[in-house]
A and B are shown apart, each in its own frame.
Chain A
Amino acid sequence: MSSTLGSREIIETFQEVPANLRLELLLEYSEALPQLPARYADHPELLERVEECQSPVYLFVELDVDGQVNVFLTAPDEAPTTKGFASLLHKCLDGEPANTVLAFDESFVDDLGITDLVSPLRIRGLHGMLARIKRQVKEKML
């Protein structure tokens, strides 16, 4: 299963608005990405750089004792598209069980109806974020 409550909500929201307003919606998501908590904001060395994004995007994944994943992402305000994607992933994955995160795939992006509007590079950045999130989850499950 490759969807979560968050991803289903996002898809519904995007599909409800006409195509020409979907980018504005992504902008709204970018503004809604939560700030990093102080334990990461003050320790950037703990964060992993997402090299696939041309902008400086960093992330960290926590796995609690119950196997629940918490995702922390940061992206610059000067890169609202990338920040929007980071925010979408956060909404999709934060608080989900590890196995759900590992099974999640980026095909949800296809259902947002924005792939023609956003460059392949941005989409690849999203793939990069997701791959790195999964890799960190796997490392922490060992």
Chain B
Amino acid sequence: MPYPIESNPEFASYAHPEALVSTQWVQDNLGQPGLVIVECDEDILLYSTGHISGAVKIDWHTELNHPDNRDYIDGKAMAALLSSKGISRDDTIVLYGDKSNWWATYAMWVFKLFGHEDIRIMNGGRAKWVAESRELTKEAPQRTTTNYPVIQRDDSSIRAFKDDVIAHFGKPMIDVRSLPEYTGEKLHMPDYPNEGASRGGHIPSARSVPWGKAVNEDQTFKTAEELNQIYRVDAGISDASDVIAYCRIGERSSHTWFVLSYLLGIPKVRNYDGSWTEWGSSVRVPIAKGEEPGPVPVSF
């Protein structure tokens, strides 16, 4: 049986209010069976400085990524990982993390590749929890190992590869990086170390909507009305759209994937996790520079 969802009027206008919980709700439900709190941060030491009581840590770099290939772990490794964390297939997972939940949404996206049903994001993430002076502990969580089943990863519905992007030309694409990354100027600072791709710019026709537009100063998500303005009105994304979002390595675009899929209810949204570090280093793919999206490549 799914864990009760939070009844919160602030979430009511989102398409899937059941995918969000507030910090207060987490506080009120700590230690309940069937509910697992998971912290996933960009900074892998942050959890060790103190975390929500009972929360387990997921390390996006060493635990979700395949150790050798540029890919995610397979079903067997995911089963071993979640079992070791004491997470069952029918548990409700509440994810939170640093950087406005970049990595929390990234972990959610990876878990969704394995079809874990009930995953919710703690609105405002770690920063909001800390700002509200809620308790953090260094005490390690005590969870019993589980037997998470081996589920084959499904890359077809929410993940896009480079070839999918090429086949997608003409349909909406969102570049969620900062404007200097989008325009391409960021690779051109003399005397400074290079970025992680060999060319600067963006995928032609992709619109620039930096991920941070979706969050408030306290790192919570903007209202449905504001998000609607940003994505449906200004960026022209409709419910019929087949959307691909990308960034540098796929983490910031997981954030946008969450916003589009769960807060706005756009049915088909894929995250291109190869993102700029793949596209900007690929041979013979078209690149656009400057602030304009540029035309859809025709002979490609």
Expressed in whole angstroms, the minimum distance between the Cβ of B67 and any Cβ of chain A is 8
Question: Are A27 and B49 interface neighbours, CB within 8 A?
Answer: yes
Query: Contact mask B42-71 → A, CB, 8 Å, 1/0?
Result: 111110110000000000011000000000
Chain B residues with CB under 8 Å of A55's CB are: 43
Closest chain A residue, CB of each to CB of B195: A52
Closest chain A residue, CB of each to CB of B67: A116
Question: Are A23 and B45 interface neighbours, CB within 8 A?
Answer: yes
Closest chain B residue, CB of each to CB of A120: B196
Chain B residues with CB under 8 Å of A54's CB are: 42, 99
Question: Are B192 and A118 interface neighbours, CB within 8 A?
Answer: no
Query: Contact mask B85-114 → A, CB, 8 Å, 1/0?
Result: 000000000000011000000000000000
Contact of B193 with A by CB under 8 A: yes
Question: Are A128 and B193 interface neighbours, CB within 8 A?
Answer: yes
Question: Are B45 and A26 interface neighbours, CB within 8 A?
Answer: yes
Question: Are A119 and B61 interface neighbours, CB within 8 A?
Answer: yes
Question: Are B43 and A131 interface neighbours, CB within 8 A?
Answer: no
Contact of B191 with A by CB under 8 A: yes
Q: A51-B192, A78-B43, A127-B193 are in contact. Are A24 and B48 (CB under 8 A)?
A: yes
Chain A residues with CB under 8 Å of B192's CB are: 51-52, 128, 131-132
Chain B residues with CB under 8 Å of A30's CB are: 45
Question: Are B48 and A27 interface neighbours, CB within 8 A?
Answer: yes
Chain B residues with CB under 8 Å of A128's CB are: 192-193
Contact of A7 with B by CB under 8 A: no
A27 to B42, CA, bound (A): 15
Size of the chain B interface, CB-CB below 8 angstroms: 18
Q: A23-B48, A117-B62 are in contact. Are A82 and B196 (CB under 8 A)?
A: no
Question: Are B98 and A78 interface neighbours, CB within 8 A?
Answer: yes
Question: Are A124 and B61 interface neighbours, CB within 8 A?
Answer: no
Expressed in whole angstroms, the minimum distance between the Cβ of A91 and any Cβ of chain B is 17
Expressed in whole angstroms, the minimum distance between the Cβ of B33 and any Cβ of chain A is 30
Q: A24-B48, A27-B49, A117-B62 are in contact. Are A124 and B193 (CB under 8 A)?
A: yes
Closest chain B residue, CB of each to CB of A52: B193
Query: Of the candidates A81, A121, A131, which one forms a contact with B45 in the assembled complex, judged by CB atoms under 8 Å apart?
Result: A81
**For B43, B44, B49, which residue has the most chain A Cβ atoms within 10 angstroms?**
B43
Query: Contact mask B121-143 → A, CB, 8 Å, 1/0?
Result: 00000010000000000000000
A52 to B46, CA, bound (A): 19
Question: Are A135 and B191 interface neighbours, CB within 8 A?
Answer: yes
- Interface of A with B (CB < 8 Å)? 23-24, 26-27, 30, 51-52, 54-55, 77-82, 84, 116-121, 124, 127-128, 131-132, 135
- Interface of B with A (CB < 8 Å)? 42-46, 48-49, 61-62, 98-99, 127, 189, 191-193, 196, 249
Q: A26-B45, A80-B49, A81-B46 are in contact. List 4 more A-B contacts (CB 8 A).
A: A54-B99, A55-B43, A77-B49, A127-B193
